[in-house]
Amino acid sequence: MPFAGTGVPTATFIELFQACVQQAPHAPALDCAGTVWTYQELNTAANRYAHWLIGLGIGPEQTVALAVPRSAEQITALLGIMKAGAAYLPWDLTHPPQRLAYMAADAAPAAVLTTRAAAARLPADLAADVLVLDAPDTLSARRDMPQRDPAATDLRAPLSVANTAYVIYTSGSTGRPKGVTVTHAGLAALRAEAVRVGELGNGRGHRVLQYAALSFDMSVWDLVAALTTGALLVLPEQEQLVGEELAALMAEREVTHATLPPSVLATLPAGTAAALGRLRVLVVGGEASTPALVAEWGTGRRLFNAYGPTEATVWATFAGPLGDGAVPIGTAMTDARAYLLG
């Protein structure tokens, strides 16, 4: 695999994922709703999605909106979109239809992937084709698709690290949602940092919690940390878990790596930090942390404070491992520079 001068691999997210499939096809890749998918099973399902989308004319520098509830289907569809060369645009189905309609008009997705249950929450009169994934005709069409990885000659156009990998809408300084496009090159740099911070040179045996919804870019960090290193992605069926429910899930699923906002971490019952003995690496970000939180959670594991805007591919700086005292935003992550402006 070629590397840039910084040591960051010049590979797309899908190339990094497929390398994990080739290295350990029977290793666990996804744990969701009581079912564990291997890398080979996840790859096969994603390949069927990819060939189906390619057949519909979808490819690089096109965007596909993903309006699918949290599930294994959500992850396989996301991978299929990227394997077709397109960028995924996550839609939060709890958002008002007006916000989704604005995003649809602004991003002009080539298609919208959804389910029968979720379709009722989509705005009316979408210009894009709405593809209902669990409709009988759609299920039948995907079953007939090849199981192999799409070749470069299958794609509608060449795919490189310069192509867009995903689009996420932030609140924007004006209050109007702002679309941010991120390339595969940014994800390759993010993987390098995940390997450093999480000690994920060989991810097998590690279990990464997917806490954030796909509409929050923190979710990208979890996807990269798991599915490009060979680790297992733990996907809770319920969104916005907090308190005792979150603590119980992390213990039951034996989570080794987690990324959480400090406010969510603060909801966990007293004694949880010591009880989660399998939790080896914890990243806090998205909002300011506190010395008290660091003192509680920085013992017995590697604790990092992360900071960065969506435009920087999730994070820009990392501080840690932290033990106690002040909570800085740290230094620039791999393949990045930080400037302090007065």
**CATH classification at residue 257:** 3.40.50.980
Residues 109 and 232 in one domain: no
What is the distance between the alpha carbons of residues 169 and 278, in angstroms, rounded to a whole number? 34
Residue 119 lies in a domain: yes
pTM: 0.94
Residue 236 and residue 327 share a domain? yes
Q: Which of 275, 266, 333, 274 is nearest to 304 (CA)?
A: 333
Same domain flag for 208 and 219: yes
End position of a domain, from candidates 148, 182, 216: 182
Residues 69 and 122 in one domain: yes
Q: Are residues 201 and 176 in the same domain?
A: no
Would you say residue 241 lies in a domain?
A: yes
Render 176-220 in DSSP notation, one character per residue.
Answer: S-EEEEEEHHHHHHHHHHHHHHHT-SS-TT-EEE--S-TTSTHHH
Domain assignment of residue 48, yes or no: yes
Would you say 259 and 283 are in contact if contact means Cβ atoms under 8 Å apart?
A: yes
H helices of the chain, in order, are 13-23, 39-55, 72-83, 97-107, 116-119, 136-143, 184-198, 218-227, 243-252, 262-265, 272-275, 291-297
234 secondary structure, DSSP code: E
**What is the reported pLDDT for 333?**
84
For 141, the domain range is: 39-182
For residue 116, is it within any domain? yes
Amino acid identity of residue 193, one-letter, is E
Is-contact 331 317, C-beta < 8 A? Answer: yes
Residue 312 DSSP code:
G
Is 9 a domain residue?
no
Q: Same structural domain for residues 114 and 194?
A: no
In a domain, 2, yes or no: no
The answer on 246 and 165 residing in a single domain is: no
Yes or no: say if 231 and 203 are a contact pair by the CB < 8 Å rule.
yes
Residues 225, 208: Cα–Cα separation, whole Å: 7
Q: Which amino acid is at 57?
A: G
pLDDT at 9: 57
- Maximum Cα–Cα distance across the chain: 60
N- to C-terminal Cα separation, the chain = 41
- Residues β-bridged to residue 157: none
List the chain pLDDT tens, one digit each, 342 residues.
443 445 555 799 999 999 999 999 999 999 998 899 999 999 999 999 999 999 999 999 999 999 999 999 999 999 999 999 999 999 999 999 899 999 999 999 999 999 999 999 999 889 999 999 999 999 999 999 999 999 999 999 999 999 999 999 987 656 788 999 999 999 999 999 999 999 998 778 999 999 999 999 999 999 999 999 999 999 998 877 899 999 999 999 999 999 999 999 999 999 999 999 999 999 999 999 999 999 999 999 999 999 998 888 999 999 999 987 789 888 888 777 777 777
Assign 311 to helix, strand or coil: helix
Q: Is 176 in the same domain as 198?
A: no
Domain boundary among 182, 198, 218: 182
How many domains in the chain? 2
Domain membership of residue 165 (yes or no) is yes
Find the helix or strand (DSSP H, E) in which 281 lies.
strand 281-284
* Whether 194 and 327 share a structural domain: yes
Residue-level pLDDT at 4: 43
Q: Which pLDDT value is given to residue 5?
A: 43
Same domain for 212 and 177? no
Which of 261, 285, 278, 273 has the alpha carbon at shortest distance from 194? 285
Within 13 Å, how many C-alpha atoms sit on residue 240's CB side? 4
pLDDT of residue 69: 95
Q: In angstroms, rounded to a whole number, what is the distance separating the alpha carbons of residues 138 and 24?
A: 30
Residue 112 lies in a domain: yes
| 139 and 85 fall within a common domain | yes
Gap between the Cα atoms of 211 and 53, Å rounded: 28
Do 247 and 305 share a domain, yes or no? yes
Final residue belonging to a domain, choices 182, 217, 232: 182
pLDDT at 6: 52
Confirm if 169 and 179 have CB atoms less than 8 A apart. yes
Helices 72-83 and 13-23 meet at what angle, rounded to 10?
A: 110
